[in-house]
Homo-oligomer: A and B are copies of this chain.
Amino acid sequence: MGQPITSGVQGKPQERTVPAGAAAAGMPNPGRLFQIFNAYQQTAAMKAAIELDVFTAIADRHTTAQEIAQHVGAAERGIRILCDYLTVMGFLTKNDSHYGLAPDAALFLDRRSPAYMGSAARFLDAPDMVKAFENLADAVRKGGTTWGEEGSLSFENPIWVEFARSMAPMMMMPAECISRLVEADKGGKCRVLDIAAGHGLFGIDIARHNPQAEIVALDWADVLEVAMENARKSGVDFRYSTLPGSAFEVEFGGGYDLVLLTNFLHHFDVPTCERLLRKVHAALAPGGRAVTLEFVPNDDRVTPPEAATFSMIMLGSTPHGDAYTFAELERMFSNAGFARSEHFRQPPMPESVIISYR
């Protein structure tokens, strides 16, 4: 709620602030509930701005609603309302009638930025995904997704091709973190198995940092085409091979120094994770490590916010997935035979890295 402003016209105060009876200062606020009922419009506004490429237009110095509207081929009223809304959300600035990019928008939403993440909307807000939340009460009753039997996990679900195509930018920073944490720059023999490789960025980044690294990428066949294309673009394809299929069924082979489990375990229940981790453990060479990227809430499961709310995505889109605490992950790895696990929070990234030693 903004502060009251008193403006005078003809010497008379034209605006007064009147506390709303019993619900005055410090009391509950219906505005917050109103905001939640309309929160879906935040997603809609961001998707529209990305589709219309409003952020890139502003980066190109089209700064008034009229200029932006002309540049992107939209109505001035539509752009003015959209840009005001994005300003309230903190992605734009507004001075007089001129809009500018807030730091988040300049880095992540200007299409020419190397860290551009606008494409992530195509996966995160994919129609099937959003549809899974339309009657969330049913998912709460059932305790799992109402998106078919298996939700996003169904056999060769095309959403993972969309994931591989559109989520790479959002994963650049985590991929760099992992390369640093495993000290890829030190070089040396390094056989890497990248499970559910998707876009392939995690393995590719290690290969870029360590010229001796050899990557085996596992995913559905259609998805691996995207990973291989990215490997070619990064010039590491001659050290990149693929294993098409399900991580639960395909034979991994052995002697890996690193096995990457990025954004994978959260889709499954604990017994399924442990079954997979035993297979991972068996595939590691002596001294080998499993590297997990996950949303890891604290033991209270309600902090930090980004990690804690992730379990909702799993409720909506999977039968049994979850955001696991470090204690839960540590126990899974331990039960699967791993000696110990370490947890690295990566602010400002919402995800953590867990390194588990064979």
**Chain A interface residues (CB < 8 Å from chain B):** 1-2, 4-5, 7, 9, 12, 14-21, 23-25, 27-48, 51-52, 73-82, 84-85, 87-90, 94, 103-104, 106-109, 117, 120-121, 124-125, 130, 133-134, 136-137, 139-144, 170, 173-174, 176-177, 180-181, 297-298, 300-309, 311-316, 320, 322, 326, 330, 340-350, 353
Chain B residues within an 8 Å CB radius of A353: 18
Chain B residues within an 8 Å CB radius of A125: 37, 40
Given contacts A15-B343, A303-B2, contact A177 B20 (CB under 8 A): yes
Chain B residues within an 8 Å CB radius of A345: 2, 4, 15-18
Chain B residues within an 8 Å CB radius of A79: 140
Q: How far is the CB of A329 from chain B (nearest CB, A)?
A: 11
Chain B residues within an 8 Å CB radius of A301: 80, 84, 94
Chain B residues within an 8 Å CB radius of A133: 40-41, 44
Given contacts A20-B348, A141-B73, A312-B45, contact A28 B107 (CB under 8 A): yes
Query: Of B29, B82, B142, B309, which is within 8 A of A104 by CB?
Result: B29
Given contacts A14-B343, A330-B14, contact A84 B140 (CB under 8 A): no
Judge whether B305 and A38 touch: CB under 8 Å.
Answer: no
Bound Cα distance A314, B108 (Å): 28
Judge whether A302 and B45 touch: CB under 8 Å.
Answer: no
Residue of B nearest to A92 (CB): B302
Residue of B nearest to A296 (CB): B15
Bound Cα distance A303, B90 (Å): 12
Judge whether B33 and A117 touch: CB under 8 Å.
Answer: yes
Judge whether A47 and B136 touch: CB under 8 Å.
Answer: yes
Judge whether B177 and A21 touch: CB under 8 Å.
Answer: yes
Judge whether B33 and A108 touch: CB under 8 Å.
Answer: yes
Judge whether B140 and A78 touch: CB under 8 Å.
Answer: yes
Q: How far is the CB of A202 from chain B (nearest CB, A)?
A: 15
Q: Provide 30 A-B residue pairs closer than 8 Å at the C-beta atoms, listed in order of the A residue.
A: A1-B347, A1-B348, A1-B350, A7-B326, A9-B330, A18-B180, A18-B181, A21-B180, A28-B104, A30-B170, A30-B173, A33-B104, A34-B124, A34-B306, A36-B43, A36-B46, A38-B124, A39-B39, A40-B42, A40-B44, A41-B133, A75-B140, A75-B144, A77-B315, A81-B140, A81-B312, A81-B315, A85-B308, A88-B305, A94-B301
Judge whether A48 and B136 touch: CB under 8 Å.
Answer: yes
Query: Of B47, B85, B170, B297, which is within 8 A of A309 by CB?
Result: B85
Bound Cα distance A210, B39 (Å): 39
Judge whether B81 and A30 touch: CB under 8 Å.
Answer: no
